[in-house]
Chains A and B, each alone.
Chain A
Amino acid sequence: MINQYETVFIATPVLSEAQMKEAVEKFRKIITDNNGEVIHEEDWGLKKLAYPIQKKSTGFYHLIEFKSEGEFIEKLETQYRRDERVIRFLTFKMDKHSIAYSEKKRRMKKEQNQKEA
């Protein structure tokens, strides 16, 4: 059963820019390898955390929206747990309201870009 998921993970701020890209690339590859399909990606960059995690008060946030089988999520989460660069992650199964919501937001962002461009 193909479902749509949204996963957000926080990487430690100690990483350099290149390491951060490499981590994101690694997770995107894991998704595409297990015949998942990445729909949308967002990088919120370095953000201040509301409370310190592992003695760090900032972190790189990254969001990936993708479609995949249900069993794949377990594999993805073990990868997250194994990877020590990722200090926190959350995967979320999207129902029809949340799918509609994210599409609407993407459309609005695209319109804004067109207006600016």
Chain B
Amino acid sequence: MAQNNSEIRYLTPLAVEVKKKKYCRFLKNRIKYVDYKDAQFLKRFLNEQGKILPRRLTGTSLKYHRKVAQAVKRSRHLALLPYVTDLMK
């Protein structure tokens, strides 16, 4: 019985998700202030619909994630970033 599971051949090789060590870009290159006017930089923290990406994906620390969220909301108020859109970027 034990052998036959070894004979299981996968059609496609298992894509082992290599664990990329996430780091907080603000701590690494010591950015202290998130500018709400810099829409290009803030776009990296938004997904296609213009929603803010969660921390677990961007890997930013809590303190800077809140600054980013605040900056995104301010730039949305100033119509530099859309509230909701499709296929941004």
Tell me the A residues contacting B by CB distance below 8 Å.
8, 10, 49-51, 53, 59, 61, 63, 88, 90, 92, 95, 97-98, 100-101
Which secondary structure dominates chain A's binding surface?
strand
Q: Report whether over half of chain B's contact residues are helix, strand or loop; otherwise say mixed.
A: loop
Known pairs A50-B85, A90-B74, A92-B74; A59 contacts B33 (CB<8 A):
no
Across-interface contacts of A50 in B (CB, < 8 A): 76, 79-83, 85
Specify which of B37, B76, B77, B83 lies most central, judged by the most chain A CB atoms within 10 Å of its CB: B37
Which of A50, A88, A90: most chain B Cβ within 10 A? Answer: A50
B residues with a Cβ closer than 8 A to A are 32-33, 35-37, 74, 76-83, 85
| CA gap between A73 and B34 in the complex, in Å | 23
A-B contact pairs, 11 of them (CB 8 A): A10-B79, A49-B79, A50-B80, A50-B81, A50-B82, A51-B79, A90-B74, A90-B77, A90-B78, A98-B33, A98-B35
With A90-B77, A90-B78 in contact, do A100 and B33 touch (Cβ < 8 Å)?
Answer: yes
In Å, the complex CA distance between A51 and B74 comes to 14
How far is it, in angstroms, between the C-alpha of A87 and the C-alpha of B77 when the chains are bound?
11
Residue of B nearest to A95 (CB): B33
Q: B33 — which chain A residues lie within 8 A by C-beta?
A: 95, 97-98, 100-101
**Across the interface, which residues of A come within 8 angstroms of B85, CB to CB?**
50
Give the Cβ gap from B50 to chain A, nearest Cβ, in Å. 8
Task: Report how far A8 CA is from B37 CA in the complex, Å.
Answer: 9
Question: Residues of B contacting A92 with CB < 8 Å?
Answer: 36, 74
Residue in chain A with minimal CB distance to B39: A50
Q: Shortest CB–CB separation between residue B64 and chain A, in angstroms?
A: 11
Q: Is the CB of A59 within 8 A of B32?
A: no
